């Protein structure tokens, strides 16, 4: 059976709202950051849970450009992403397997632990594109109907808990990859980002990703 683009968009939107509601309910329960730290740092071999630290670094400060920094990220946002990895909205060969091994308590505890960790700053690397990245982040691209990133993620990249991620200092490669995934439809768990990313060129994605890396 084929569905119209409107119906498909409606279904995606409903799934996104549903995952946000589940995330909010999960976060509302009391978390145990100490248990989260134990799982993050050591995993749980008996339950086939791999330690997060191997890919995301001590205290969430990843040094691998393809793997996101998770330190200081909003607890509610992290909960939502881990729940989304379990479903069709954000498939990932590594994270989907990992997320499915976690129960709601695990997700809440790990997310609470990471939110408490201090983030190490990043830096923009391409001086030739920093002004373009700054323009897009702070003012958008009016002629392409691209809104300013700062409107949702704040001028400093601090973001808004639950809905909008903290971006400050994030690896350029990771941010660029996620914008590209939103644009292609490989990542579907934010209707806003799918729409916005489709209006960005490769050069614009790279420029704004590099600028974000230098936000503090």
Same-domain pairing of 140 and 105: no
Q: Which of 89, 115, 141 is the last residue of a domain?
A: 115
Mean pLDDT confidence for 179-184: 98
Please name which of 63, 161, 72 lies closest in space to residue 116, comparing C-alpha atoms.
72
Domain count within the chain: 2
Same-domain pairing of 160 and 58: no
* Residue 123 domain flag: no
Q: What is the pLDDT of residues 7-48, one digit of tens each?
A: 444 444 444 545 555 555 555 579 999 999 999 999 999 999
Q: What percent of the chain has pLDDT over 90?
A: 84
Helix boundaries (H) for the chain? 5-28, 33-42, 53-56, 75-85, 95-100, 104-115, 130-139, 150-153, 172-184, 191-197, 202-213
Give the model's pLDDT for residue 20. 55
Mean pLDDT confidence for 189-215: 98
Look up the CATH number of the domain holding residue 56.
1.10.760.10
Tokens 């439809």 — which residue? 185
Mean pLDDT confidence for 45-74: 98
pLDDT at 6 over 50: no
Same-domain pairing of 104 and 67: yes
Q: Which of 115, 150, 185 is the last residue of a domain?
A: 115
Q: From CA 208, how far away is CA 172, in angstroms rounded?
A: 9
Mean pLDDT confidence for 186-197: 97
Question: Is residue 161 very low, low, confident or very high in pLDDT (cuts 50, 70, 90)?
Answer: confident
pTM of the model: 0.86
Q: What percent of the chain has pLDDT over 70?
A: 87
Which range (18-27, 31-40, 134-143, 179-188) has the least confidence? 18-27
Same-domain pairing of 9 and 100: yes
Same-domain pairing of 156 and 195: yes
Give the model's pLDDT for residue 178. 98
* Residue 124 domain flag: no
Q: What is the pLDDT of residues 99-130, one digit of tens each?
A: 999 999 999 999 999 999 999 999 999 999 99
Same-domain pairing of 109 and 140: no
Q: Which domain holds residue 98?
A: 5-115
Q: Which of 62, 91, 115 is the last residue of a domain?
A: 115
* Residue 125 domain flag: no
Same-domain pairing of 108 and 136: no
pLDDT at 85 over 80: yes
Same-domain pairing of 23 and 89: yes
Same-domain pairing of 100 and 54: yes
Same-domain pairing of 104 and 155: no
Q: From CA 128, how far away is CA 164, in angstroms rounded?
A: 28
* Residue 150 domain flag: yes
Same-domain pairing of 10 and 103: yes
Mean pLDDT confidence for 186-209: 97
Q: Which two tokens stand for residue 57?
A: 């670094």
Question: Is residue 143 very low, low, confident or very high in pLDDT (cuts 50, 70, 90)?
Answer: very high
Same-domain pairing of 14 and 81: yes
């Amino acid at each position: 059976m084929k569905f119209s683009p409107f119906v498909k968009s409606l279904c995606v939107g409903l799934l996104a709202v549903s995952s946000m509601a589940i995330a909010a309910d999960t976060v509302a329960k009391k978390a145990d950051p100490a248990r989260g730290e134990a799982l993050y740092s050591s995993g749980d071999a008996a339950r086939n849970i791999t330690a997060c630290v191997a890919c995301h670094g001590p205290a969430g400060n990843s040094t691998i450009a393809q793997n996101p920094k998770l330190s200081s990220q909003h607890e509610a946002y992290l909960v939502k992403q881990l729940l989304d990895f379990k479903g069709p909205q954000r498939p990932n060969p590594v994270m989907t397997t990992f997320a499915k091994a976690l129960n709601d308590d695990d997700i809440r505890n790990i997310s609470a632990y990471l939110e408490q960790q201090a983030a190490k700053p990043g830096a923009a690397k391409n001086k030739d594109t920093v002004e373009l990245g700054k323009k897009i982040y702070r003012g958008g691209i009016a002629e392409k109907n691209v809104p300013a990133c700062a409107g949702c993620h704040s001028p400093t990249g601090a973001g808004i808990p639950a809905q909008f991620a903290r971006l400050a200092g994030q690896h350029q490669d990771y941010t660029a990859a996620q914008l590209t995934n939103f644009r292609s439809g490989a990542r579907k768990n934010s209707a806003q980002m799918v729409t916005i990313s489709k209006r960005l060129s490769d050069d614009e994605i790279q420029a704004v990703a590099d600028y974000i890396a230098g936000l503090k």
